[in-house]
């Protein structure tokens, strides 16, 4: 009887998943049921999940993620842009700007009268409530208070100033001893080197001298070379991003949660492209440039903002460069691979599992979305040259009501797009010594899995098995199916299983949506093996899958949910 009651409770909680206003409550409930692993053996049907989108990711396992809710008709991003440009008074102040005190801000904390502060500026977000993809509940969390931290946790990359400029109330009044203060300055560490920049006292202690990055430079009559010593092993060759625009050199080295920056106005002109060599084992990165005028330089150049500095990545603004659309190839009836060419002065390789952001202006409003690059092909052909290092390949599904995807679909070859530096918490170090890798993807949640599969099969020496369970609505929606089948036939360590929620009569594979018993059958766990599970898809799919994984005994360090 006791077991039956728990079965009923669990089934009803899962069935009511979409009725909960705050889905993180069910995550907490699922964690608390971890000791009842027998419940995970039940065949519990999941509710329908929305169309998969590479534009949306959730937070890593153990962190709170952003939920996307169904908006009313006429309440899309494009509809909000039109409202913002309609000339309506969205603040109720008839064009006046106020200096807002903490006491005044706290008064405006209801659905119809909701003010919030982001980085010292106060906005009336009530008009935006019905247009917010995360729902009213998410905005109300910041009602009447400083919402900067909440904003940064979910979408630090969004240009809120552009989105909410017509909702601006004014500036936050700064008072001594106020509890509502501007966010503290970023933890900036300026390091000794060949060139230094005057700096304020750092807000955090310096790391020990023997682990701080440093740099040096040397030259010949023909070349000038910069060498960065990171003083640690590097996980891959994609941690260094170099941008040379005119005579301004910007080099960023991604080091876990920190980034090291070199930023210089070079003493003389150099040619493009630049060459970057990385010695991962010793943590050395060398940038080589050819001089326009073949003569010795007296100095390397003049330092610019943040030169020779170490900064938390989340505190450094994303850097964008203009890329050119060079081709567009159909993958399915509504999904294409967009090939973007980086500028000749840029050297950037997006590491496995990382994403970039596309930024563009649509009706004078800035729109930004994350996308995970894929390789040109899932199955490398050694008879042909590898992809150009200066190209990015983005697999993008075009939605009928997608503001950015519709814009992308209308671009012509030769048009430009702004592309950010790589971002995201995934590291291939998570897969160290993994013997069994399980990938659970829905729709375009497959995009980060594509490169993970290639990496695992080519570079993961401990790997014994990689299994992909790929959820789609219809057979025609399956991305790169022929390539997946070809790769599985070529390498017996890869197994692929397709699951359709709306199959045709001829479909003989698995059907339905993600459920506990389905994962129990899929996740083999031989004794003495090391497991890792990657999950990516719409928010509902990911959160439900994470709950099932925890119930089946997987620990947080054995799971990664891709975000963006």
pLDDT tens, N- to C-terminus, the chain (564 residues): 444 444 444 444 444 443 344 444 444 444 444 433 333 333 333 333 333 333 333 344 444 444 555 677 877 877 888 888 777 888 888 777 888 898 899 999 998 999 999 888 899 999 988 888 777 888 888 899 998 888 877 666 677 777 788 889 888 886 544 343 444 444 445 554 434 333 333 444 555 556 789 999 999 999 999 999 998 888 766 789 999 999 999 999 998 888 999 999 999 999 999 999 998 888 899 999 999 999 999 999 999 999 999 988 888 888 999 999 999 999 999 999 999 999 999 999 999 999 999 999 888 888 889 999 999 999 876 544 444 567 999 999 999 888 899 999 999 999 999 999 999 889 888 998 999 999 999 999 999 999 999 999 999 999 999 999 999 999 999 999 999 999 999 999 999 999 999 999 999 999 999 999 999 989 988 888 999 999 999 988 999 999 999 999 999 999 999 974
CA-CA distance, 514 to 3, in Å (whole number)? 23
Q: What angle do CA 331, 366, 564 make, to 5 degrees?
A: 55
Strand arrangement, sheet containing 391-397? 365-371, 356-362, 416-420, 320-330, 335-341, 391-397, 373-374
The CA distances from residue 370 to 39, 324, 398, 472, 520, in Å, are: 36, 17, 14, 21, 32
Q: Which CATH number fits domain 188-315: 2.60.40.790, 1.10.3720.10, 2.40.50.100, 1.20.1530.20?
A: 2.60.40.790
CA-CA distance, 151 to 119, in Å (whole number)? 10
pLDDT at 155: 67
CA-CA distance, 457 to 499, in Å (whole number)? 23
pLDDT at 355: 94
Parse the chain into domains and list their residue ranges.
Answer: 77-172, 188-315, 320-420
Any idea which fold 77-172 has? Answer: Flavocytochrome B2; Chain A, domain 1 (3.10.120)
Tell me the sheet residues that pair with 470.
441, 498
pLDDT at 539: 87
pLDDT at 52: 37
pLDDT at 131: 85
The bridge status of strand 494-500 relative to strand 465-472 is: parallel
Which position has the token pair 């900064």?
311
pLDDT at 160: 76
Which position has the token pair 């070079």?
266
pLDDT at 176: 47
pLDDT at 225: 96
Q: Which CATH number fits domain 320-420: 2.40.30.10, 3.30.420.40, 3.40.50.300, 3.40.47.10?
A: 2.40.30.10
Tell me the sheet residues that pair with 229.
214, 284
pLDDT at 396: 96
Contact in structure between 307 and 213 (CB atoms under 8 Å):
no
CA-CA distance, 384 to 377, in Å (whole number)? 12
Contact in structure between 419 and 343 (CB atoms under 8 Å):
no
CA-CA distance, 110 to 142, in Å (whole number)? 10
Q: Tell me the two tokens of residue 356.
A: 């970039």
- 3-state DSSP assignment of residue 168: strand
Tell me the sheet residues that pair with 289.
224
- The string of DSSP codes covering 56-121 is ---PPTTS------PPPTT-SHHHHHHHHTTT--SSSSTT--EEE-HHHHHH-EETTEEEEEETTE
- 3-state DSSP assignment of residue 502: coil
Q: Tell me the two tokens of residue 520.
A: 């129990």
**What element of type H or E holds 483?**
helix 481-490
pLDDT at 187: 45
**What element of type H or E holds 154?**
helix 148-155
């Amino acid at each position: 009887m006791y077991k039956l009651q728990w079965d009923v409770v669990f089934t009803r909680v899962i069935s009511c998943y979409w009725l909960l206003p705050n889905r993180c409550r069910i995550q907490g409930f699922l964690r608390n049921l971890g000791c009842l692993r027998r419940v995970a053996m039940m065949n519990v049907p999941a509710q329908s999940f929305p169309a998969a989108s590479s534009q949306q990711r959730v937070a890593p396992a153990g962190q709170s993620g952003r939920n996307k809710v169904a908006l009313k008709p006429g309440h899309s991003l494009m509809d909000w842009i039109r409202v913002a440009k309609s000339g309506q008074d969205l603040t109720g102040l008839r064009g006046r700007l106020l200096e807002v005190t903490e006491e005044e801000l706290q008064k405006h904390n209801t659905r119809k009268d909701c003010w919030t502060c982001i980085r010292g500026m106060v906005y009336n977000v009530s008009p935006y409530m019905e247009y917010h993809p995360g729902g009213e509940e998410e905005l109300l969390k910041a009602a009447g208070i400083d919402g900067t931290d909440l904003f940064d946790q979910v979408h630090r990359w969004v240009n809120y100033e552009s989105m909410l400029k017509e909702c601006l109330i004014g500036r936050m009044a700064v008072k001594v001893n106020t509890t509502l203060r501007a966010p503290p300055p970023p933890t900036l560490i300026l390091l000794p080197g060949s060139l230094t920049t005057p700096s304020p006292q750092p807000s955090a202690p310096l790391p020990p001298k023997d682990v701080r990055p440093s740099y040096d430079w040397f030259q010949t009559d023909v070349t000038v070379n910069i060498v960065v010593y990171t003083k640690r092993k590097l996980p891959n060759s994609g941690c260094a991003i170099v941008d040379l625009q005119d005579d301004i050199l910007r080099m960023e080295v991604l080091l876990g949660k920190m980034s090291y920056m070199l930023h210089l106005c070079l003493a003389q002109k150099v040619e493009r492209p630049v060459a970057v060599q990385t010695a991962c084992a010793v943590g050395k990165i060398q940038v080589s440039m050819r001089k326009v005028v073949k003569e010795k330089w007296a100095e390397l150049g003049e330092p610019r903002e943040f030169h020779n500095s170490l900064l938390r990545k989340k505190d450094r603004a994303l850097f964008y460069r203009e890329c050119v659309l060079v081709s567009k190839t159909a993958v399915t009836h509504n999904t294409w691979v967009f090939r973007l060419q980086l500028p000749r002065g840029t050297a950037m390789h997006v590491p496995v599992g990382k994403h970039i952001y596309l930024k563009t202006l649509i009706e004078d409003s800035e729109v930004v979305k994350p996308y995970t690059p894929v390789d040109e092909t899932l199955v490398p052909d050694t008879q042909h040259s590898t992809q150009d290092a200066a190209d990015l390949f983005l697999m993008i599904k075009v939605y009928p009501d997608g503001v950015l995807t519709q814009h992308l679909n209308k671009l012509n070859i030769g048009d430009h797009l702004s592309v950010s530096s790589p971002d995201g918490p995934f590291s291939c170090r998570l897969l160290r010594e993994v013997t069994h890798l399980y990938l659970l993807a829905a729709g375009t949640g497959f995009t980060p899995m594509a490169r993970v599969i290639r990496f695992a099969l080519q570079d993961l020496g401990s790997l014994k098995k990689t299994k992909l369970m790929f959820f789609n609505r219809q057979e025609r929606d399956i991305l790169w199916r022929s390539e997946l089948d070809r790769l599985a036939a070529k390498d017996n360590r890869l197994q692929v299983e397709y699951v359709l929620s709306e199959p045709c009569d001829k479909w003989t594979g698995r059907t339905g949506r993600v459920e506990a018993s389905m994962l129990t059958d899929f996740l083999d766990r031989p004794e003495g093996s090391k497991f890792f599970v990657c999950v990516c898809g719409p928010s509902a799919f990911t959160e439900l899958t994470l709950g099932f994984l925890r119930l089946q005994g997987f620990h947080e360090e054995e799971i990664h949910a891709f975000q963006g």
